[in-house]
Structure 1
Amino acid sequence: MSHTFALRVYYEDTDLAGIVYYANYLKFIERARGEWVRALGMDQVALRAETGQVFAVRRLVADYLRPAKFDDELSVRTTPRAVTVARIVLHQQVMRGDTVLFDAEVTLVCLTEAGHAARIPADLRQRLAAALPSP
């Protein structure tokens, strides 16, 4: 199940040339991941309060393919690729229309608040697995 998050490029997202500053793509995909999680019915604040668990980016591989510019209307597509007992792998793309501008594979891990590896709660893991595309 892919999720799409819409956004507009604001002046504050750009450099002097009006092109999106490279680090802002990471902010865009972070916002999209947060909305993807909400769409799955997950509450990260409740998860932390109830279990002491949080998710953190463990690995990110990114390709900057084309520049986004001031006032562009963009979308971020988030597609889960894999779910294990302690990690989630996502494919995320920032797009302008049908053109892919930024492409990333993001690995998230489940951690305790102290930063130790933790198992994703079974009910949450089931919801995440149900969101995986069919083979």
Structure 2
Amino acid sequence: MTNEDKGTSLSSLLGPRASCLVHRSSLLVKEGLVNFHETLIKVRFNEVDAYKIAWHGHYVAWMEVGRNDLAGRFGLDAVQIADSGYLAPVVALELKFIRPARFGEELRVRTTLRRTETATLEFACDIFGEEGKLSASGRTVHALTDRDGVLQYALPQVIAERLQGLMAFLGV
């Protein structure tokens, strides 16, 4: 049973908090054999710490923005998955910092999906700063559960169908 069947969608429960308030634009990019999604984010003043660089926790948020921008185009962002009756909590997160981002800098968040053999979603993300210099690189792994938290061992059909379109675009 989906949330729609229950008469309540996650987006209606979250209201305006369901949308991200980050100045950004996004596009799907095909570059040779590598396909990815690119989200542009400008580092805001409130994201800079006492060292005058972006606070490390914001990189995780920027990865999430990129991931949801890509997944949302194929019906697989967090709200869309929940509205289908499933959840995709993060079960693993890796992030390597390479160079700091600074106030006013425009970042390019490149996101792609890696193929997995299990009922999980694995997103890889690179964050580039000025002059195309890599600032951070990471990945998230999401397990699929039903609304009650029961782990799914096979991809639910509705998720598998949406995932097929995303993987076809990315060429994975």
Counterparts of 2:46 and 2:74, CA distance in 1: 30
- From 95, 100, 121, the equivalent of 1:67 is 100
Tell me, yes or no, if structure 1 residue 117 matches structure 2 residue 151.
Answer: yes
User: Among the aligned pairs, what percent are the same residue?
Assistant: 21
Match of 2:83 in 1: 49
Query: Would the aligned equivalents of 2:107 and 2:127 in 1 still touch at CA under 8 Å?
Result: yes
Which secondary structure does the structure 1 equivalent of 2:55 belong to?
coil
Q: 4+ residue stretches of structure 1 with deviation over 4 A?
A: none
The structure whose Rg is larger is 2
Name whichever structure is richer in helix by fraction: 2
- Write the deviation string for residues 28-65 of structure 1: whole angstroms up to 9, x where unpaired: 111111111111234643542342x1111111121101
- From 63, 69, 75, the equivalent of 1:29 is 63
Match of 1:19 in 2: 53
Which ranges of structure 1 fall in alignment gaps of 5 or more residues? none
- Write the deviation string for residues 49-108 of structure 1: whole angstroms up to 9, x where unpaired: 342x11111111211011000110001111111144510111101111421111002111
Highest RCO, 1 vs 2 (Cα 8 Å, sep ≥ 6):
1
Query: Would the aligned equivalents of 1:82 and 1:90 in 2 still touch at CA under 8 Å?
Result: no
Counterparts of 2:78 and 2:56, CA distance in 1: 27
Q: Structure 1: which amino acid aligns with 2:87?
A: V
Give TM-score, length-normalised by structure 2: 0.69
Query: Would the aligned equivalents of 2:71 and 2:166 in 1 still touch at CA under 8 Å?
Result: no
Give TM-score, length-normalised by structure 1: 0.85
CA RMSD of aligned residues (A): 2.0
Counterparts of 2:81 and 2:123, CA distance in 1: 20
CA shift for structure 1 position 123: 3.9
Q: Across the two proteins, how many residue pairs are aligned to each other?
A: 134
Q: Structure 1: which amino acid aligns with 2:163?
A: L
Tell me, yes or no, if structure 1 residue 131 matches structure 2 residue 130.
Answer: no
Name whichever structure is richer in strand by fraction: 1
Query: Would the aligned equivalents of 1:65 and 1:101 in 2 still touch at CA under 8 Å?
Result: yes
Query: Would the aligned equivalents of 2:109 and 2:127 in 1 still touch at CA under 8 Å?
Result: yes
Deviates more, 1:78-87 or 1:17-26: 78-87
Q: Structure 1: which amino acid aligns with 2:100?
A: P
Counterparts of 1:101 and 1:43, CA distance in 2: 24
